[in-house]
């Protein structure tokens, strides 16, 4: 035996599983196809937002959350409706329990801290039993994604020093070995050394082979979002034809190939047509990975129009319902949409997802963070306005529309019609009351102190020259999370076609749909992915440690 347990994939889920295994005294081989520079996988790039329920941070802000309310929101959002949802639903129940109880104290005891202003993502916009967070639950980690990884990297490095963990980079697993019906190892290719920086695509040239044995294997290889052909192949038929043009919200290593290997070994892959992609993607002017896109985390005020200039229908306002918006856009016959806004809105409401786009929070700089919500556009956003290929800035609306049409190379937007619609919206603002659902959503959002302080611009007329210049942002579909995956039971054991565990094989993190093969169902409440990796990685590590005692 080369180790007690082999963990494949050194992202967040793999690091958590490894840390737990080592704490239980197991000898672990942690394999990853990427070079050492990319250790931590997607979590490093993440915004570090975590879904917590009834936390001290929420209570301090006067938010009254509860386990019952969170479960109501989860069920309304997930929309479980298949036989395959048995384990996903049980994982969801266990996860919401975790988020309402132990999650915060477990992380806190390892040194993780939260930014005190809890954010309100995926607000929904229909009925109490429908999609969305009834209250703000998105807790940003102080230090963002790298801050989430920190305690687990520390534990794994300490175990490495004790001789319990060996990390082998450039080891790409292509097969699982079995004997007497149990998984007992992995085989694959040693890739040639690579000195690319974190997140950059690395060479796939093969320099050798390996064959390693252990009592158990934990697969934590991530989702499929960096593999655009695979995303198209799995595209849900109920969303229509897969988009031709997508940008990638994840690095190239999120290739989904190991999921296929688990399937070939007898593991059941379920809910492959469930994915969580964003409709507010912009091209990165300084790409790190292939087709690198960034997601705008929008406040509610931008005027959202489709490619032909038609306003998106209620309740599809920014930040309300990602999947319903995606379904709507797919029916318009065009793949892009536009935010039309002004300087006042962009300054207050635009945030960009990702650790590198939030140097103040990532660098834990109190002074920098205090500038948020002021009169100055955050520097990473200002840089996109200046250099991003999707931004048009002009003084007047006719000029703006001319710039938008030039950008797409077609006169798709009629300036007179857009002006009519924006002026109608502006009249509703001026009325002080009004019937426009988006204007009312903005007013409603400002009842939450955090939104009023730093996130939502006071309602004002979009065409008010004092709030200008006007800005238009072309939005593309950005791939990100894989919601379905390898079916697992509550011990993270991989299940076969007949529902029986495959001895020796465990899966956690995004490859397992964050638990069970899809604990989110069709949609997410946000901040639930890192949390899903923490919870399922911990579960898999502890279960594999028990099984190999
Ligand atoms: C920009 C960005 C922002 C995000 N923000 C948030 C947020 O605020 N909140 C939230 O909850 N989630 C967020 N997420 C999502 C979250 O970061 C991911 O879902 C999560 O980190 C996935 O972790 P993982 O360990 O399952 O997989 P990964 O991080 O993808 O790691 C998998 C690892 O497996 C390796 N691997 C794959 N195949 C093989 C193979 N065949 N052989 C060997 N190694 C292999 C890969 O190289 C990789 O290192 C964000 C993601 C991104 C990219």
Rounded distance between C-alpha atoms, residue 537 and residue 543, angstroms = 10
State the closest ligand 1 atom to the C-alpha of 38, by its place in the atom list counted from 1.
Answer: 49
Closest CA to 529 of 511, 503, 509: 509
pLDDT tens sequence for the chain (549 residues): 999 999 999 999 999 999 999 999 999 999 999 999 999 999 999 999 999 999 999 999 999 999 999 999 999 999 999 999 999 999 999 999 999 999 999 999 999 999 999 999 999 988 999 999 999 999 999 999 999 999 999 999 999 999 999 999 999 999 999 999 999 999 999 999 999 999 999 999 999 999 999 999 999 999 999 999 999 999 999 999 999 999 999 999 999 999 999 999 999 999 999 999 999 999 999 999 999 999 999 999 999 999 999 999 999 999 999 999 999 999 999 999 999 999 999 999 999 999 999 999 999 999 888 888 778 899 999 999 999 999 999 999 999 999 999 999 999 999 999 999 999 999 999 999 999 999 999 999 999 999 999 999 999 999 999 999 999 999 999 999 999 999 999 999 999 999 999 999 999 999 999 999 999 999 999 999 999 999 999 999 999 999 999
Segment (H or E) for 404: helix 397-408
CA-proximal residue: ligand 1, atom 51 (nearest): 46
CB of 172 sitting under 6 A from ligand 1: yes
Q: Which residue has the tokens 């009351």?
A: 433
pLDDT of 286: 97
pLDDT of 388: 97
CB of 13 sitting under 6 A from ligand 1: yes
CB of 103 sitting under 6 A from ligand 1: no
pLDDT of 13: 98
User: How many angstroms separate the alpha carbon of residue 158 from the centre of ligand 1?
Assistant: 22
Q: Helix or strand or coil: residue 299?
A: coil
CB of 222 sitting under 6 A from ligand 1: yes
Rounded distance between C-alpha atoms, residue 325 and residue 478, angstroms = 13
Q: Beta strands 247-248 and 470-482: pairing type?
A: parallel
CB of 227 sitting under 6 A from ligand 1: no
State the closest ligand 1 atom to the C-alpha of 294, by its place in the atom list counted from 1.
Answer: 1
User: How many angstroms separate the alpha carbon of residue 254 from the centre of ligand 1?
Assistant: 7
User: How many angstroms separate the alpha carbon of residue 494 from the centre of ligand 1?
Assistant: 19
Rounded distance between C-alpha atoms, residue 117 and residue 126, angstroms = 25
What's the chain's length in residues?
549
User: How many angstroms separate the alpha carbon of residue 134 from the centre of ligand 1?
Assistant: 27
pLDDT of 267: 98
State the closest ligand 1 atom to the C-alpha of 354, by its place in the atom list counted from 1.
Answer: 1
CB of 43 sitting under 6 A from ligand 1: yes
Q: Helix or strand or coil: residue 371?
A: coil
Helix spans in 102-143 (H)? 102-109
Cα torsion through 156, 157, 158, 160, rounded to 10: 90
Cα torsion through 315, 96, 520, 486, rounded to 10: 170
Rounded distance between C-alpha atoms, residue 261 and residue 266, angstroms = 9
CA-proximal residue: ligand 1, atom 33 (nearest): 9
CB neighbour list of residue 466: distance below 8 Å, 6 or more residues apart: none
* Entry pTM: 0.98
Cα angle at 356 between 351 and 359, to 5 degrees? 75
pLDDT of 373: 74
CB of 12 sitting under 6 A from ligand 1: yes
Q: Provide the CA 35 distance to its chain's centre, in angstroms.
A: 23
pLDDT of 372: 81
Q: Do 494 and 502 contact (CB within 8 A), yes or no?
A: yes
CB neighbour list of residue 110: distance below 8 Å, 6 or more residues apart: 151, 155
Q: Do 64 and 195 contact (CB within 8 A), yes or no?
A: no
Closest CA to 125 of 323, 363, 404: 323
CB of 46 sitting under 6 A from ligand 1: yes
CA-proximal residue: ligand 1, atom 37 (nearest): 221
Rounded distance between C-alpha atoms, residue 509 and residue 153, angstroms = 16
Helix spans in 409-493 (H)? 415-431, 437-445, 449-450
CB of 143 sitting under 6 A from ligand 1: no
Neighbours of 546 (CB within 10 A): 10
Closest CA to 289 of 253, 255, 257: 253
Residue 47 per-residue DSSP state: -
3-state secondary structure 51-67: ECCCCHHHHHCCCCCCH
CB of 37 sitting under 6 A from ligand 1: no
Ligand 1, residues 492, 529, 535: which to mutate, most atoms within 8 A of Cβ?
Answer: 529
Rounded distance between C-alpha atoms, residue 276 and residue 256, angstroms = 15
Pull the structure tokens for residue 315. Answer: 């309740």
Rounded distance between C-alpha atoms, residue 96 and residue 110, angstroms = 21
Ligand 1, residues 156, 355, 361, 530: which to mutate, most atoms within 8 A of Cβ?
Answer: 530
Q: Using omega within 30 degrees of 0 as the cis cutoff, is the peptide bond preceding 103 cis?
A: no
CB of 342 sitting under 6 A from ligand 1: no
Q: Provide the CA 19 distance to its chain's centre, in angstroms.
A: 23
pLDDT of 436: 97
pLDDT of 370: 85
Please, what's the b/e burial string for 70-87 (b: 16 or more CB within 10 A of its CB; e: otherwise)? bbebbbbbbbbeeebbbb
User: How many angstroms separate the alpha carbon of residue 275 from the centre of ligand 1?
Assistant: 14
Ligand 1, residues 206, 222, 224, 523: which to mutate, most atoms within 8 A of Cβ?
Answer: 222
CB of 358 sitting under 6 A from ligand 1: no
Instruction: For residue range 333-356, list pLDDT tens digits in order.
Output: 999 999 999 999 999 999 999 999
Give, to the nearest 10 degrees, the angle between helix 397-408 and helix 415-431. Answer: 130
Q: Beta strands 28-31 and 5-8: pairing type?
A: parallel
CA-proximal residue: ligand 1, atom 38 (nearest): 221
CA-proximal residue: ligand 1, atom 39 (nearest): 221
pLDDT of 375: 82
Pull the structure tokens for residue 10. Answer: 């050194």
């Amino acid at each position: 035996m080369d180790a007690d347990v082999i963990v494949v994939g050194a992202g967040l889920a793999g690091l958590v599983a490894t840390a737990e295994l080592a704490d239980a005294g197991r000898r672990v081989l942690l394999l990853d196809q990427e070079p050492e520079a990319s250790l931590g996988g997607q979590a490093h790039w993440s915004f570090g937002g975590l879904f917590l329920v009834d936390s001290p941070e929420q209570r301090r802000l006067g938010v009254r959350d509860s386990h019952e309310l969170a479960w109501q929101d989860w069920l309304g959002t997930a929309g479980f409706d298949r036989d395959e949802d048995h384990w996903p639903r049980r994982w969801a129940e266990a996860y919401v329990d975790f988020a309402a109880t132990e999650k915060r104290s477990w992380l806190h005891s390892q040194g993780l801290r939260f930014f005190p202003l809890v954010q309100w993502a995926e607000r929904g916009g229909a009925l109490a039993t429908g999609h969305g967070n009834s209250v703000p639950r998105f807790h940003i980690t102080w230090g963002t994604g790298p801050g989430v990884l920190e305690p687990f990297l520390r534990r794994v490095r300490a175990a490495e020093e004790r001789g319990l963990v060996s990390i082998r980079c450039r080891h790409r697993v292509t097969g699982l070995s079995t004997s007497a019906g149990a998984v007992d190892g992995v085989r694959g290719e040693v890739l040639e050394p690579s000195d690319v920086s974190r997140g950059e695509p690395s060479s796939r040239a093969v320099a050798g082979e390996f064959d390693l044995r252990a009592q158990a294997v934990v697969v934590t290889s991530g989702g499929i979002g960096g593999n655009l052909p695979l995303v198209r192949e799995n595209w849900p038929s109920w969303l229509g034809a897969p988009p031709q043009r997508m940008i990638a919200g994840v690095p190239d290593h999120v290739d989904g190939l190991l999921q296929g290997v688990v399937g070939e070994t007898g593991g059941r892959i379920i809910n492959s047509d469930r994915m969580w992609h964003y409709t507010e993607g912009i091209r990165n002017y300084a790409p790190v990975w292939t087709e690198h896109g960034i997601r705008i985390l929008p406040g509610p005020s931008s005027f959202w129009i489709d490619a032909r200039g038609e306003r998106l229908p209620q309740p599809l306002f920014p930040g309300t319902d990602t999947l319903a918006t995606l379904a709507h856009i797919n029916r318009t016959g065009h793949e892009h949409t536009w935010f039309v806004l002004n300087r006042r809105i962009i300054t207050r409401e635009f945030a960009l997802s990702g650790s590198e786009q939030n140097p103040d929070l990532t660098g834990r700089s109190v002074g920098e963070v205090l500038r948020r919500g002021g009169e100055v556009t955050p520097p990473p956003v200002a840089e996109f306005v200046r250099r991003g290929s999707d931004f048009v800035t002009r003084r007047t609306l006719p000029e703006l529309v001319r710039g938008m049409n030039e950008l797409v190379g077609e006169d798709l937007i009629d300036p007179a019609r857009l002006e009519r619609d924006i002026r109608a919206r502006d009249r509703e603002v001026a009325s002080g009351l009004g019937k426009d659902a988006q204007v009312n959503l903005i007013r409603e959002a400002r009842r939450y102190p955090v939104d009023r302080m730093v996130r939502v611009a006071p309602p004002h007329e979009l065409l008010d020259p004092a709030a200008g210049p006007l800005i238009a942002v072309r939005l593309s579909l950005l791939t990100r999370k894989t919601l379905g995956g390898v079916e697992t039971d509550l011990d993270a054991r991989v299940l076969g076609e007949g529902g029986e565990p495959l001895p020796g094989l465990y899966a956690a993190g995004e490859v397992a749909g964050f638990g069970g093969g899809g604990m989110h169902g069709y949609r997410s409440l946000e901040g639930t992915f890192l949390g899903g990796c923490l919870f399922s990685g911990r579960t898999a590590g502890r279960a594999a440690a028990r099984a190999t005692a």
